[in-house]
Structure 1
Amino acid sequence: MVDYEVTVFTGDLAFASTFDNVYIKLVGKDESKRTLLPRSWMSPFFKGKVSHFTISCPAFLGKLTLIELDKQTKFFQDSWYLAKVEVTSPEGHTYHFPIYHWITDSDVHRFREGTALRIFEDNDSLDKYSRQQELQQQQKVYCWDVYEAGIPHCMKADSFLSLPCDIRFSLTKITEMAYTAAKGLAELELREIAECKENFTCIEDISHLLSAHRTETSDYVCQHWKEDAFFGYQFLNGVNPMLIQRCTSLLENFPVNDDMVFLHGQHSLADEMENGNIFLCDYKLLDGVQANTINGKKQYLMAPLVLLQKTPDDKLMPLAIQLKQKPGDENPIFVPTDSEYDWLLAKIFVKSADFNLYELSAHLLRIHLLAEVFTMSLLHNLPMVHPLYKLLKPHTRYTLQINYLARDLLLSKDGDLAKFTASGGEGVTTILQKSLSSLTYSSLCIPDDIAQRGLTDVPGFYYRDDGLKIWNIIHSFVSNVLRHYYKTDDEVQQDTELQNWIQEIFEHGFLSQESTGIPQKFSTVDEMVKFVTMVIFTCSAQHTAVNAGQYDFGAWMPNNPTSLQLPPPTEKGAANEKTMLDTFPDVNTTVHAMAITWLLSTQSSDRVLLGQYPEMHFTEEVPLQEILKFQENLKKLSADIKDRNKKLDLPYTYFDPEVIENSVSI
């Protein structure tokens, strides 16, 4: 007889324990008998517990390739979260079986030994298991669905309870989110006015809304929101740094001239454009979008054009604002020399447009919906032993459930977007469809995006500075890991599972639109590395950059109004403070928007940060060493960002690895 030492790790999650009888079979060239793992009066499979067993076999089993596990009801049917199993053979070799899976039934579950294998090198003969069988089972559990035509496809789910256990939130996250959602208005001390459908009558009333929950940034916004320099700053380092681009020629539908923007002829637009000092923000995707009705009042959503100039002291200052795309006598071009409230109101309409476009395009579409597509295709096409599955699985945590909740609570006809934003209702789908049609692969890759928008040398652009460093760190990590497994371009082309993954992303995420530039297949190692870098960057760093500051920049409502309820001015000289207050959203719209952005900006205590791997899917030395290098590089970048921020009046923190979550989970 020979003995195999088996170590079973039960996950440290709520309700991870099982009292059922657990059976195991070891499979190599030969296989052991199905063996009951012994138990005393207590279950050895309590949450967080590590249990040791000995399996005796008549003869050596050869190289272990598989274990079979099942559990049979002892007292009552329960679920068991199995983290991993380790098996030490008689000659002292330890085999690792990373699992991280809920076992909820009495079926036999098969798990491969943890060494990463691509399909064309997987030569182990396994009569009861194949990669294809695993994928077919996954495809039955995770089915594609169409939420709305013209937007990325999603996971089919009939109800919250129908979500697979493996993608659900932990009890900690469920509890914290439910508490934050239920108590949000109370925590912000806004419950008493949550149903007030009246206008604000003075700016001081808006100030009172911040009394309970303030941040360093929200205080700064409250103090500086009227300033042109801060208005320009936010296009670089606010929640939507995705729109601004260098302007090399004026648009025909934006007839700005030198006399409008430069007094006494001290500059010319032509010279300033040639010198690279003119920038444009164009909200054309909002043109023609039907605005919402809130509290029985028609709302207004503009599609502005904004021209900005980099000044000699390296500030980005607005030069001109046109609130509609089509020029005309009733669509004046506003400039800083206009009256105080004409100019301020023009900027307010821009900021409201920015909120609505950013929330649906830069945040929902380009992060959440694409992350869901990346996740679904991963589960459909890559088995657990595939190296790309092991690399990307940590970046899918909670994504499918948070997106289900977003569709149910935010996007639905009775959701929060319909209740509290100008783009709610029909506008949501229209903006998402137009945004997807205009989305490009290069815009998802920050080095390409920054270069194409002409922003490589703009001073004070911390989103760019930190984002490029994060991208490079991720790219180096991805490259080193994947090149360990893929030595040649031919190996990439041979990997049919990998090719199916990218093809399904192209079809379900980008609706087979070749104009997006999304690859339909990988021909080279470089192509694969770049795309996988984009996936990880999108699901982690980019999500934090556009999500974490929502309350910071939006808590002071005049800086980011979710809706406006007076039409834009058609002539100059008529606006005053009352006009501005009447244009702002009602009190209830404002306070509910504050509560929502506070919820979406609140991190869970069980978050997993970029570079952390509580679930270790890799078992080989090379990827494990690369993870350590990755962590060290992130730690150094965090220290550098903190040192830089000490010198800034308003620190830029959203690309600090210490706040970047590994996945889209909020």
Structure 2
Amino acid sequence: MKADYLIYVGTGDKKNAGTDANVKIILEDEEGQRTGEIELDNFLKNDFEAGKLDVFPVDKIVNLRLGNIAKIEFWRDNSGAGSHWFVDRILVENRLVNTTFAFPVFRWIQPNRHYIINHLDTSLPQFDTYREQRAFELAEKKKAYEYTQKAPGMPVQWDLLKSKINLKAKSKFVALTSGRWNTLDDLINVYDKNDFPPPKHANGWKDDVYFGNQRLASQNSTLIKLCTSIPEKLAVTEDMLKPLLEGNSLQSLIDDKRLFIVDLDILEDLDCKDGAIMCSPIALFMVDNKKQLRPIAIQLFQQPGTDNPVFLPTDDPNLWIVVKMWFNNADSTYHQSLTHLGYTHLIMEGICICGNRNLSLSHPIFKLLAPHFLFLIAINNRALQLLVSVGGWVDKTMNCGAKGLVNLMTKGVKNWSMVIDGNLKEDLKKRGVDDPNVLPGYHYRDDALLLYDAIQNYTSKYVDLYYDSEETIAGDDELQSFAKEMALEIEKGGGVPNNGVLKTKKDIVDVVSCVIYTCSVSHAAANFPQYHFYSFPPNCPVTMNGTPPKTKDPVDADFMLKTQADKDITLDIMIVTKLLSNRGTQSLGDFEVQYIFDPNALKLVSEFRQELKKISQTIKDRNKTREFKYDYLDPESIPNSIGI
């Protein structure tokens, strides 16, 4: 094309994003020179189709020789059969100065409303020359976002029900999905290399060291705490544990930071579905002389008593295995309700809504967070409909049922704090496991810290670009509204610094890092190991039948088998955890939508990607020597957002 100017218009790849309306644009350079109205229309071509980039040559605009294009003004009318229009971006190539100028839009364009977009469209509200337009758009965004929350118009279209049917049809034991298993070993024969590969951990379910490793590098590795004293409610004694302590005393283990505890007291008196029982167990773990974590005592309910004994590895072997299964059943309930659904999906949905309601599309913090909000509301709506609804997957497969899961989420979310639970380092410190020399083999901690540091470094440098003083932070009314609204309801992301007032750059970095880390790393750690830990039920049963043992009487293999899920429930667990473990979006740092156009910020994105590559290689090298490999936090395997 020989034109002096080329205008590129990218229409969004969304439902009803394209338009047949008439579109006009005005260009303005840094000197204030403005063109007249330019109609964007390629003769005999259907412009502005969804997902398309159209090019419009413009030759000698009213005899002006424009310099650097500083802003554009564009609008559409209401003509045509389809006049809705979502614009991703507009680029103006000025061939007279050999430069292309980017104008991010990412907006639904209303008819007959003029939109003025500055070059790169990134500014704090107090420095925006078009405050009235910005305020209007925020008001519209608040109304529109409530609508979007309920609509299936997000980029992800995940039909869980259809996917379940397809996988079930492929299953090699589809004709055998009723009744009970003859032996636990029979279950191993149902796996294949394609749709249902053998779980990585199907052979470890009887082993105590493997059970210990489930606290350190599984789907639920955020509960274990350093034990500094034995709680009175745990009825263990030195004499009872002596055969297990390898010549150590309990006090020496405490002094050497080798004693750890998991206390699921939050499950006490949980309202379960009819006929089901939920334990609220306490487990004591020891780092043995080989530096391996192993369980040394489990009490299945909170209050000690003759019908609630402390079970030990020296008890009847089958009984000890059943006790560990009941513990893991409780652990899986906490995992699905809080670690996974409550503390990632639902809390981040509240923050996503809050961000969209309070931060303009032009706000640099919105541009930083937006890639990590993609798909979240759509997947949450789908999951709540099909998994957590009455009669859904949770009701069918989990002892707590949907009612118990919701009740547990309500209890847990009230105590969640962005500055503690949402801050990896503070969470590790609170649990006494922040020292890398304490608790060897804690692969979740060791890998997650690399990623958390990288995210904090990235966000810190990004925040430095736009905030030069505490006065600038205080004067950013959109940012302060964002923080204030987050602090209103703890169910939507409480525990904001300073009770909802961001005062320093560190405050901003802590909030932003929490969101990015939770939507990417935390969710990946909680979600993607599910198939390998849950699909072989004895390994980590989400369903347990019967009654937890109340005495130390020996049990036989048939007793163990009767505690396990029937064939149809087993298949349902396999299918759903397989679907949930699939990765359908791009890796962390490789954003599906690039909202950032500021060259200085883009440089930071590039640096972040390079750091993630280094971390990926470090984790790959670590896994070469690990007894229990843990690849779930390799950045290549971590999506940007909660898309499943």
TM normalised by structure 1 equals 0.88
After TM superposition, give the deviation of residue 548 of structure 1 in Å: 0.5
Q: What is the correspondence of 1:195-206 to structure 2 with a 5 Å cutoff?
A: 196=178, 198-206=179-187
Question: Which letter does structure 1 place at the counterpart of 2:420?
Answer: S
Equivalent of residue 466 in structure 1, options 431, 447, 451:
447
Residue 77, structure 1, aligned to residue 82, structure 2: yes
Question: Which letter does structure 2 place at the counterpart of 1:184?
Answer: L
Q: Aligned equivalents of 1:367 and 1:109: distance in 2?
A: 39
Residue 51, structure 1, aligned to residue 37, structure 2: no
- Secondary structure in structure 1 of the residue aligned to 2:7: strand
Equivalent of residue 438 in structure 1, options 415, 438, 443:
415
> Which residue in 2 is equivalent to 1:97?
103
Q: Aligned equivalents of 1:632 and 1:135: distance in 2?
A: 35
Per-residue CA shift, 1:162-188, capped at 9, x if unaligned?
34x4xx134xx547x665333122234
Structure 1 stretch 451-460 or stretch 359-368: which is displaced more? 451-460
Residue 498, structure 1, aligned to residue 504, structure 2: no
Q: What is the correspondence of 1:509-524 to structure 2 with a 5 Å cutoff?
A: 509-510=490-491, 519-524=499-504
Structure 1 stretch 493-502 or stretch 320-329: which is displaced more? 493-502
After TM superposition, give the deviation of residue 410 of structure 1 in Å: 1.6
Residue 664, structure 1, aligned to residue 642, structure 2: yes
Percent identical pairs in the alignment equals 27
- Secondary structure in structure 1 of the residue aligned to 2:594: coil
After TM superposition, give the deviation of residue 212 of structure 1 in Å: 5.6
Q: What is the correspondence of 1:345-364 to structure 2 with a 5 Å cutoff?
A: 345-364=322-341
Contact 1:240 1:358 in 2 (8 A): yes
> Which residue in 2 is equivalent to 1:192?
175
Contact 2:73 2:115 in 1 (8 A): yes
> Which residue in 2 is equivalent to 1:147?
none
> Which residue in 1 is equivalent to 2:462?
481
Q: Aligned equivalents of 2:502 and 2:491: distance in 1?
A: 16
> Which residue in 2 is equivalent to 1:149?
none
Per-residue CA shift, 1:199-253, capped at 9, x if unaligned?
323113322332365788x544111111000000010001001110010001111
Structure 2 runs not aligned, ≥5 long? none
After TM superposition, give the deviation of residue 518 of structure 1 in Å: 7.5
Contact 2:520 2:639 in 1 (8 A): yes
> Which residue in 2 is equivalent to 1:131?
134
> Which residue in 2 is equivalent to 1:22?
23
Q: Aligned equivalents of 1:192 and 1:100: distance in 2?
A: 50
After TM superposition, give the deviation of residue 647 of structure 1 in Å: 2.0
Equivalent of residue 377 in structure 1, options 354, 374, 379:
354
Q: What is the correspondence of 1:469-618 to structure 2 with a 5 Å cutoff?
A: 469-510=450-491, 519-604=499-584, 607-618=585-596
Q: Aligned equivalents of 1:581 and 1:316: distance in 2?
A: 27
Structure 1 stretch 569-578 or stretch 85-94: which is displaced more? 85-94
Question: Which letter does structure 2 place at the counterpart of 1:465?
Answer: D
Per-residue CA shift, 1:126-166, capped at 9, x if unaligned?
7xx5211111001111239xxxxxxxxxx852xxxx34x4x
Higher relative contact order (CA 8 A, sep 6+): 1
After TM superposition, give the deviation of residue 24 of structure 1 in Å: 3.1
Q: Aligned equivalents of 1:262 and 1:109: distance in 2?
A: 79
Q: Aligned equivalents of 2:7 and 2:566: distance in 1?
A: 64
- Secondary structure in structure 2 of the residue aligned to 1:611: coil
- Secondary structure in structure 2 of the residue aligned to 1:338: coil
Q: Aligned equivalents of 1:73 and 1:582: distance in 2?
A: 68
Equivalent of residue 619 in structure 1, options 597, 617, 621:
597
Contact 1:564 1:584 in 2 (8 A): yes
> When the two structures are aligned, how many residues end up with a matched partner?
630
RMSD: 2.7
> Which residue in 1 is equivalent to 2:238?
258
- Secondary structure in structure 2 of the residue aligned to 1:569: coil
Equivalent of residue 123 in structure 2, options 117, 127, 136:
117
After TM superposition, give the deviation of residue 459 of structure 1 in Å: 1.0
Q: Aligned equivalents of 1:189 and 1:331: distance in 2?
A: 41
Contact 1:490 1:524 in 2 (8 A): no
> Which residue in 1 is equivalent to 2:254?
273
> Which residue in 1 is equivalent to 2:313?
336
TM normalised by structure 2 equals 0.91
Question: Which letter does structure 2 place at the counterpart of 1:427?
Answer: G
> Which residue in 1 is equivalent to 2:396?
419
Per-residue CA shift, 1:626-652, capped at 9, x if unaligned?
111111100111111112212234321
Per-residue CA shift, 1:495-538, capped at 9, x if unaligned?
11101111111224446966x87741111111111111111000
Question: Which letter does structure 1 place at the counterpart of 2:103?
Answer: F
- Secondary structure in structure 2 of the residue aligned to 1:411: coil
- Secondary structure in structure 2 of the residue aligned to 1:98: strand
- Secondary structure in structure 1 of the residue aligned to 2:401: coil
Contact 2:7 2:58 in 1 (8 A): yes
After TM superposition, give the deviation of residue 465 of structure 1 in Å: 0.9
Q: Aligned equivalents of 1:24 and 1:367: distance in 2?
A: 42
Question: Which letter does structure 1 place at the counterpart of 2:105?
Answer: I
After TM superposition, give the deviation of residue 190 of structure 1 in Å: 4.3
Q: Aligned equivalents of 2:242 and 2:293: distance in 1?
A: 15
- Secondary structure in structure 1 of the residue aligned to 2:636: coil
Residue 182, structure 1, aligned to residue 188, structure 2: no
Per-residue CA shift, 1:102-121, capped at 9, x if unaligned?
55x74546252224111111
Contact 2:4 2:96 in 1 (8 A): no
Seen in structure 2, the aligned counterparts of structure 1 residues 78 and 130 have a Cα distance that, compared at 3 Å, is: closer
Question: Which letter does structure 2 place at the counterpart of 1:348?
Answer: M
Contact 2:161 2:386 in 1 (8 A): no
After TM superposition, give the deviation of residue 258 of structure 1 in Å: 1.3
Q: Aligned equivalents of 1:286 and 1:125: distance in 2?
A: 52
Seen in structure 2, the aligned counterparts of structure 1 residues 121 and 229 have a Cα distance that, compared at 3 Å, is: same
Q: Aligned equivalents of 2:465 and 2:244: distance in 1?
A: 64
- Secondary structure in structure 2 of the residue aligned to 1:438: coil
Q: Aligned equivalents of 1:279 and 1:654: distance in 2?
A: 24
Residue 396, structure 1, aligned to residue 373, structure 2: yes
Seen in structure 2, the aligned counterparts of structure 1 residues 601 and 68 have a Cα distance that, compared at 3 Å, is: same
After TM superposition, give the deviation of residue 395 of structure 1 in Å: 0.6
Seen in structure 2, the aligned counterparts of structure 1 residues 206 and 3 have a Cα distance that, compared at 3 Å, is: same
After TM superposition, give the deviation of residue 19 of structure 1 in Å: 5.0
Q: Aligned equivalents of 2:212 and 2:73: distance in 1?
A: 59
Per-residue CA shift, 1:317-347, capped at 9, x if unaligned?
1000000111100001100000011100100
> Which residue in 1 is equivalent to 2:611?
633
Seen in structure 2, the aligned counterparts of structure 1 residues 185 and 416 have a Cα distance that, compared at 3 Å, is: same
Structure 1 runs not aligned, ≥5 long? 145-154
Q: Aligned equivalents of 2:138 and 2:130: distance in 1?
A: 17
Residue 143, structure 1, aligned to residue 126, structure 2: no
- Secondary structure in structure 1 of the residue aligned to 2:115: strand
Q: Aligned equivalents of 2:494 and 2:460: distance in 1?
A: 27
Contact 1:100 1:615 in 2 (8 A): no
Q: Aligned equivalents of 2:312 and 2:262: distance in 1?
A: 15
Q: Aligned equivalents of 1:546 and 1:518: distance in 2?
A: 29
Q: Aligned equivalents of 2:400 and 2:287: distance in 1?
A: 31
Q: Aligned equivalents of 1:553 and 1:286: distance in 2?
A: 21
- Secondary structure in structure 2 of the residue aligned to 1:378: helix
Question: Which letter does structure 2 place at the counterpart of 1:522?
Answer: L
